[in-house]
Amino acid sequence: MKKDIVVIGTSAGGVDALRELVGGLPAEFPAAIFVVLHTSPDSPGILASILGRAGALSAVCVSKVEAIEPGRIYVPKPDHHLMVDRGFARATRGPKENRFRPAVDPLFRSAAQAYGPRVIGIILTGGLDDGTIGLAAVKELGGTTIVQDPEDAPVPSMPLSALTHVDVDHCVPLAEMAALLTRLTAEKPHEKGAFIVPDEIRIEVDIAKENNALEAGVLSLGEPSIYACPECHGVLLQVKADTNERRLRFRCHTGHAYSMQSLLAEMNERTEESLGSAFRAIEEHVLLLRHLASHVRNDSPPAQALLERAVKAEAQRDLVRQAVLHYPAAADSAGA
């Protein structure tokens, strides 16, 4: 069987990397290409037009369901996962994974489940570690794995994570990737036999396809942890790690999923926001106390009491301000 399904995941620095990669592919490229680039929910959704102008291949933004055709690039509409089924691609509003929708892992898992050895999975430049678990699924089900050389990537975290946790087939600079893809997709068909999809991959694909997480079997993925989901505040399950993953990850009963790095980054961000809110609240309290004190006689006991409270509140405010200023940055958490 030919390798005719190419899935690509990228984040920071990804637009330029994708442009270069697809720009190097021939017009007769025999595989369909599916791309996830981390974007904000209110992104203008112009990636398809950017990639369509970058080279000889046409590109489409998947808003519902699109038939799969060779030599075509598929990207999801903003705030949607891109999923691959036999014969078509679809956009879904499944739970966020690794803080993003679209996320790389759902795309890679779904392609691996549908096409097994026919899949080529590629991780390009990006922060944190989205795509590592998905690339492991591609490898597990017989697909081919490619990672951009971290020294060639403007943001190397995603490639480094993939190389650390997946037995990658090819690690090459971006400039060599189009030629490698052209060669891999032109190889003679070969049979690898039937592939068996593990229950864990099936469950996680079903969740990303908008199926109810509990009905899909999310509780069988792991044991409850002591941590709450930053998104919905439900209990996070610690997903049972297999020999291919070798790393911690979590999923809640409504379906939100986190790698170790993405959970650290999300909790860091939300803690920083909470500290900032506390600082603003105390500052407003100080302003109110001083404002009230100014409307009574300066030497009266009520005025003095208000000013004393204001001084105490200012001391608390300054402590919180120091906590905000010196709280570990998200980048520090990302290196865990």
161 is catalytic: no
Measure the CA angle with vertex 168, ends 163 and 169; round to 5°: 150
Measured between alpha carbons, how far is 336 from 261 in angstroms, rounded to an integer? 6
Residues 6+ apart with CB under 8 A from 23: 54, 55, 178
Helices and strands (H and E) in the chain: how many: 11, 14
d(CA 277, CA 202): 41
CB 134 within 8 A of CB 104: yes
Instruction: Spell out the residues 6+ positions from residue 299 whose beta carbon is closer than 8 angstroms to its own.
Output: none
- Neighbouring-strand partners of residue 72: 58
Q: Which of 105, 129, 130, 206 is catalytic?
A: 130
**Residue of 20, 68, 13, 15 lying closest to 181 (CA atoms):** 20
Length of the chain, please? 336
| Residues in CB range of 6: below 8 A, 6 or more apart | 31, 32, 33, 34, 119, 120, 122, 181, 185
φ, ψ for residue 258 (rounded to 5)?
-140, 135
Structure tokens at 89: 């691609």
Q: Looking at this protein, which amino acid is placed at residue 85?
A: D
E strands of 87-214, at which residues?
A: 88-92, 119-123, 144-148, 170-172
Parallel, antiparallel or unpaired: strands 72-76 and 58-62: parallel
Cα separation, 146 vs 135, in Å, equals: 9
For the question of residue 167 being annotated catalytic, the response is no
Active-site residue, from 4, 38, 206, 256: 38
Going by their DSSP bridges, the two strands 222-228 and 235-239 should be labelled as: antiparallel
DSSP 8-state code for residue 285: H
Please give the positions annotated as active site: 11, 38, 130
